[in-house]
Amino acid sequence: MADISPFAPKRFPRLPKIAGLRLGGVACGIKANMRSDLMVCVLDPSARVAGMFTRSATAGPTVRWCRDAVRDGAVRAIVVNSGNANVFTGRAGARDVAATAVTAARALGCGPGEIMVSSTGVIGERLPISKLTAALPGLVAAAEAGAWQAAAEAIRTTDTFPKAAGARARIGGVAVNIAGIAKGSGMIAPDMATMLAYVFTDAKIPAPALRVLLAEACQASFNAITVDGDTSTSDTVLLVATGAGRGHRRITRAGDPALADFRAKLGAVMTDLAHQIVGDGEGLSKFITITVTGAASDRAAKAIALSVANSPLVKTAVAGEDANWGRIVMAVGKAGERVDPQRLAIKLGGVRITERGAARPSYREAPVARHMKGRRIRIDIGAGIKGARGRATVWTCDLTHGYISINADYRS
Amino acid sequence: MADISPFAPKRFPRLPKIAGLRLGGVACGIKANMRSDLMVCVLDPSARVAGMFTRSATAGPTVRWCRDAVRDGAVRAIVVNSGNANVFTGRAGARDVAATAVTAARALGCGPGEIMVSSTGVIGERLPISKLTAALPGLVAAAEAGAWQAAAEAIRTTDTFPKAAGARARIGGVAVNIAGIAKGSGMIAPDMATMLAYVFTDAKIPAPALRVLLAEACQASFNAITVDGDTSTSDTVLLVATGAGRGHRRITRAGDPALADFRAKLGAVMTDLAHQIVGDGEGLSKFITITVTGAASDRAAKAIALSVANSPLVKTAVAGEDANWGRIVMAVGKAGERVDPQRLAIKLGGVRITERGAARPSYREAPVARHMKGRRIRIDIGAGIKGARGRATVWTCDLTHGYISINADYRS
């Protein structure tokens, strides 16, 4: 087991209570050593759900199940196992997902289409489904309000700490709560990554509006992080509104101005969870924030930022605390987006390094070298396209011996 | 200094003689410790040249110079320094390229536009141009036929061995020679990589035909390798025909059937050089050949192969000798190309693992595990698109602690 990330929070955060939600986690025997590996979230019938999923062409049967099941917005439970991804397991894998949903549905007296299922872990091995279905009814019965930590623990794989975040928001003057958990540490890249995240609110928001709110918030959070550029077959983010909190004015669409604060707080919670995932990037020693401005469009800015974030040469330079800004120039150049090399402005730790297509004559490495020794590294890039205002921020981590150690013997 | 790659040839290869070409290498003081860092190839006035270059948006001034200089097909010398990439060095960097060309041109009594210039090494530092121009005239004068090894040594950076390959071909029954040298070890990815390659023939082929031959041969050689997915600002491949060999029938166009054998042998030499670059991939312990068939097109096949080749999780699994084929499924899925998961056929070391969207019931890991312990790893992927015949092969290496060590302290 790897050491706990230096970016792990000191303690599990206190989260606001979400009325209409009970949670639980248990060891059902998928993982060795009786580590917790089965999680359930049980929801009141008023709950509504929206989901975003991996774009992988080899997405697993849980993703195929959920894509279908979220469509009508109804949800009574979320069941997640860790230790086995149930991906590329053929028809048996699909049957195992159905069996999981049917088992939970029976325990709750609902239809299997109201059960969301996720799995994370090794790809290509059959799920020990009887262990899961044997433990599930008891877990559903024992689920309780506020058991966030038990739930967050049960969805971990190579994560070195459980991930959770919460906030309070106001909708038309009425306080509502938002809280969520996530897992993810490797195989993390935009358009979802081996990351699972489940975010809840006790506000009452219909599914179509939830979908818009979720898609928006993902753009600047889970779709703006990368650990290794690899994309999982299982990535899932669900946003659930239980509608069981204090009554607020009726919401019918995402564009309602009364959602302004909710939208901001939802973004903050999801960004917090996304940062925790990067901050638990396999083997990381540095947390890197990359901001690109002055690109031809926001999309171009994000492509440039991701090219830098995914460059092994940039990531190893950061690991080596090396102010090797030339590799940033290289990674900007290979992004396939327009930049003006003469006006390209690279900053490390806030120190402007380049101007007119070269290092500034006044550039001194000492302050930048000091910044590189810190834990949080800032890379700012002005793409220099005249009059253009495209901008994006992405977060990533460095590439260290720890990543190699974790991934060269993951299954052994 | 890293250990010599396990894939290094036992000795520097014997290369055929290229009439009309003299070569040399010397230490001019750019690198520390008097290591060789300046190379020249001097060509008879009959020589014709074609070039392919990096597509980086931050390409260096040598690339900009050569793009312009190759246009008329005339070439009298190639000058290459290692130890400093002369990239992102502003106007001074462009002046340094011109000064290099002018110095060589004076020594040869030709125009500076007939001099090709490349640089490789650290980005963003000013070239110590006076050391280079001081040493260059003597190097030009001392250049001699067959000094391949001195030339190949002088263009190395993190390469652990000098790279060269040669072949004989026939054009209309007349023997001609092909030989070349290359460098490259990290920052290697398609569309050129930090790789420089200079390939020569004593055949007489006009520049327009050379351009076609070079572009074709690059597709399946230098543009089909990747070490880390990073793309250099300096990549350059030049193909020079001296026209000083034995007289063969006149060639006016690349499509001439008399070039069939030449084309095949040129491809073989360039593929050999490309394999040597992958076989010297920074920190590698395994050489990986990835072939994709049954994709929607050759382009789609290459995209899938490169997605697998560049996946850190696949590369670390290979480093760990782990038959973790699920990561191949993941990397195929994230390529953004069409595959049929039900018909996706993954083989490791020739052993078919998947069928009908799962592991074969008869799959046993033992023979695959044995294959993974070898030095040369074969990954074959059938994309399963019905009736489609798109195919591609790419070569890469594993991702090891050695890569991290080399790149986390390259400048120190």
pLDDT tens, A131-152?
Answer: 999 999 999 999 999 999 999 9
Residue B5 lies in a domain: no
**Among B253, B278, B303, which residue terminates a domain?**
B278
Helix H or strand E encompassing B159: none
Is the model's pLDDT at A193 over the cut of 50? no
> For residue B326, what is the nearest residue in chain A, using CA coordinates?
A123
Strand partners, B39: B25, B80
- Binding-face residues of B in 383-412 toward A, CB within 8 A: 399-401, 403-405, 407-412
- Residue A28 phi, psi dihedral angles, 5° rounding: -105, 0
The reported pLDDT for the residue numbered B358 is: 93
Q: Residue B25 in contact with residue B36, Cβ under 8 Å?
A: yes
Q: Does B71 touch chain A (CB under 8 A)?
A: no
Cα dihedral A352, A354, A359, A362 sign: negative
Q: Which of B96, B292, B334 is the best substitution to test chain A (most A C-beta atoms within 10 A)? A: B334
The reported pLDDT for the residue numbered A231 is: 66
How close, in Å, is residue A250 to chain B by CA atoms?
40
pLDDT by residue (tens digit) across A285-311?
Answer: 999 999 999 999 999 999 999 999 999
- Is the Cβ pair A57, B341 closer than 8 Å? yes
Same domain flag for B297 and B270: no
- Is the Cβ pair A124, B325 closer than 8 Å? yes
Residue B45 lies in a domain: yes
Distance CA B359, CA A93 (A): 11
Same domain flag for B51 and B194: yes
- Which domain, by its residues, includes A69? 21-278
Residue A1 lies in a domain: no
Tokens 């993703």, residue located:
A63
The reported pLDDT for the residue numbered A226 is: 77
Cα dihedral A299, A302, A303, A304 sign: positive
> Tell me, what CATH number does B133's domain have?
3.60.70.12
Same domain flag for B156 and B56: yes
Low-confidence ranges of chain B (pLDDT < 70): 1-2, 186-194, 228-231, 409-412
Residue A218 lies in a domain: yes
Residues of A in contact with B407 (CB under 8 A): 312-313, 316-317, 320
> For residue A54, what is the nearest residue in chain B, using CA coordinates?
B334
**Among A278, A306, A322, which residue terminates a domain?**
A278
The reported pLDDT for the residue numbered A286 is: 94
The reported pLDDT for the residue numbered A392 is: 95
pTM to 2 decimal places:
0.86
How close, in Å, is residue B333 to chain A by CA atoms?
4
Same domain flag for B254 and B156: yes
Residues of A in contact with B311 (CB under 8 A): 229-230
The reported pLDDT for the residue numbered A120 is: 92
- Is the Cβ pair A333, B228 closer than 8 Å? no
Q: Does A230 touch chain B (CB under 8 A)?
A: yes
Q: Does A82 touch chain B (CB under 8 A)?
A: no
Listed residue (B60, B181, B68, B182) closest to B116, CA to CA: B68
Residues of B in contact with A320 (CB under 8 A): 407-410, 412
How close, in Å, is residue A330 to chain B by CA atoms?
6
How close, in Å, is residue A302 to chain B by CA atoms?
16
Residues of A in contact with B330 (CB under 8 A): 56, 58, 87, 123, 187, 230-233
pLDDT by residue (tens digit) across A355-364?
Answer: 999 999 999 9
How close, in Å, is residue B359 to chain A by CA atoms?
7
CA distance from start to end of chain A: 12
The reported pLDDT for the residue numbered B190 is: 40
Answer with the residue of higher pLDDT: A61 or B121: A61
Listed residue (A261, A183, A255) closest to A222, CA to CA: A183
The reported pLDDT for the residue numbered B193 is: 41
Q: Does A332 touch chain B (CB under 8 A)?
A: yes
A393 is catalytic: no
- Is the Cβ pair B57, A324 closer than 8 Å? no
How many other CB atoms sit within 10 Å of the CB of residue A173? 9
The reported pLDDT for the residue numbered A36 is: 96
Same domain flag for A225 and A138: yes
Strand partners, B346: B381
Q: Does A223 touch chain B (CB under 8 A)?
A: no
Residue B16 lies in a domain: no
> For residue A398, what is the nearest residue in chain B, using CA coordinates?
B408
Same domain flag for B252 and B295: no
Pairs of CB atoms within 8 A across A/B: 234
Long-range (24+ apart) CB contacts under 8 A made by B215-218 are B215/B52, B216/B254, B216/B263, B216/B267, B217/B263, B217/B266, B217/B267, B217/B270, B218/B52, B218/B270
Q: Which of A313, A363, A373 is the best substitution to test chain B (most B C-beta atoms within 10 A)? A: A313
Q: Does A187 touch chain B (CB under 8 A)?
A: yes
Q: At a CB cut-off of 8 Å and minimum separation 6, what does B382 contact? A: B292, B293, B294, B343, B344, B345, B346
Q: Does B332 touch chain A (CB under 8 A)?
A: yes
Distance CA A388, CA A319 (A): 32
Same domain flag for B253 and B301: no
Count of domains observed in chain A: 2
- Binding-face residues of B in 355-374 toward A, CB within 8 A: 356-359
Distance CA B68, CA B51 (A): 10
Q: Is B116 exposed, middle or buried (0-12, 13-18, 19+ CB in 10 A)?
A: buried
> Tell me, what CATH number does B381's domain have?
3.10.20.340
Retrieve residue B160's tokens.
């652990």
**Among A236, A251, A278, which residue terminates a domain?**
A278
- Is the Cβ pair A58, B90 closer than 8 Å? no
| Pairing state between β B358-359 and B287-295 | unpaired
Residue B9 lies in a domain: no
Q: Residue A288 in contact with residue A305, Cβ under 8 Å?
A: no
The reported pLDDT for the residue numbered B191 is: 39
Find the catalytic residue in B54, B89, B100, B194. Answer: B194
pLDDT band at A194 (very low <50, low <70, confident <90, very high): low
ipTM of the complex: 0.81
pLDDT by residue (tens digit) across B82-92?
Answer: 999 999 999 99
Answer with the residue of higher pLDDT: A283 or B305: B305
B329, B331, B407 ranked by CB distance to A316: nearest: B407
- Is the Cβ pair A57, B320 closer than 8 Å? no
Same domain flag for A265 and A360: no
Helix (H, G, I), strand (E, B) or coil at B229: coil
Distance CA B82, CA B153 (A): 10
- Is the Cβ pair A408, B317 closer than 8 Å? yes
Residue A5 lies in a domain: no
The reported pLDDT for the residue numbered B229 is: 63
Q: At a CB cut-off of 8 Å and minimum separation 6, what does B131 contact? A: B28, B29, B30
| Pairing state between β B287-295 and B376-382 | parallel
Same domain flag for B203 and B240: yes
Residues of B in contact with A372 (CB under 8 A): none
The reported pLDDT for the residue numbered B247 is: 93
Q: Does A155 touch chain B (CB under 8 A)?
A: no
Same domain flag for A127 and A28: yes
Residue B15 lies in a domain: no
Q: At a CB cut-off of 8 Å and minimum separation 6, what does A362 contact? A: none
Q: Which residues of A292-327 are buried (b: 16+ CB within 10 A; e: fewer)?
A: bbbbbbeebbbbbbbbbbbbbbbbbbbbbbbbbbbb
The reported pLDDT for the residue numbered B356 is: 93
- Binding-face residues of A in 11-50 toward B, CB within 8 A: none
Q: Is B113 exposed, middle or buried (0-12, 13-18, 19+ CB in 10 A)?
A: middle
Same domain flag for A226 and A292: no
Q: Which of B120, B308, B329 is the best substitution to test chain A (most A C-beta atoms within 10 A)? A: B329
Secondary structure, 3-state, chain A: CCCCCCCCCCCCCCCCCCCCEEEEEECCCCCHHHCCCEEEEEECCCCEEEEEECCCCCCCHHHHHHHHHHHHCECCEEEEEEEECCCCEHHHHHHHHHHHHHHHHHHHCCCHHHEEEEEEEECCCCCCHHHHHHHHHHHHHHCECCCHHHHHHHCCCCCCCCEEEEEEEEECCEEEEEEEEEECCCCCCCCCCCCEEEEEECCCCCHHHHHHHHHHHHHCCHHHECCCCCCCCCCEEEEEECCCCCCCCCCCCCCCHHHHHHHHHHHHHHHHHHHHHHCCCCCCCCEEEEEEEEECCHHHHHHHHHHHHCCHHHHHHHHCCCCCCHHHHHHHHCCCCCCCCCCCEEEECCEECEECCEECCCCCHHHHHHHHCCCEEEEEEECCCCCCCEEEEEEEECCCHHHHHHHHCCCC
Listed residue (A184, A288, A198) closest to A232, CA to CA: A184
Residues of A in contact with B85 (CB under 8 A): 326
Same domain flag for A99 and A153: yes
Q: Is A32 exposed, middle or buried (0-12, 13-18, 19+ CB in 10 A)?
A: exposed
Residues of B in contact with A332 (CB under 8 A): 57-58
Distance CA B133, CA B107 (A): 11
Q: At a CB cut-off of 8 Å and minimum separation 6, what does B342 contact? A: B356, B357, B384
- Residue A392 phi, psi dihedral angles, 5° rounding: -160, 150
Residues of B in contact with A229 (CB under 8 A): 229, 310-312
Q: What is the mean pLDDT of chain A?
A: 92
Q: Does A91 touch chain B (CB under 8 A)?
A: yes
Distance CA A271, CA A220 (A): 7
Find the catalytic residue in A194, A242, A396, A400. Answer: A194
Distance CA A391, CA A292 (A): 5
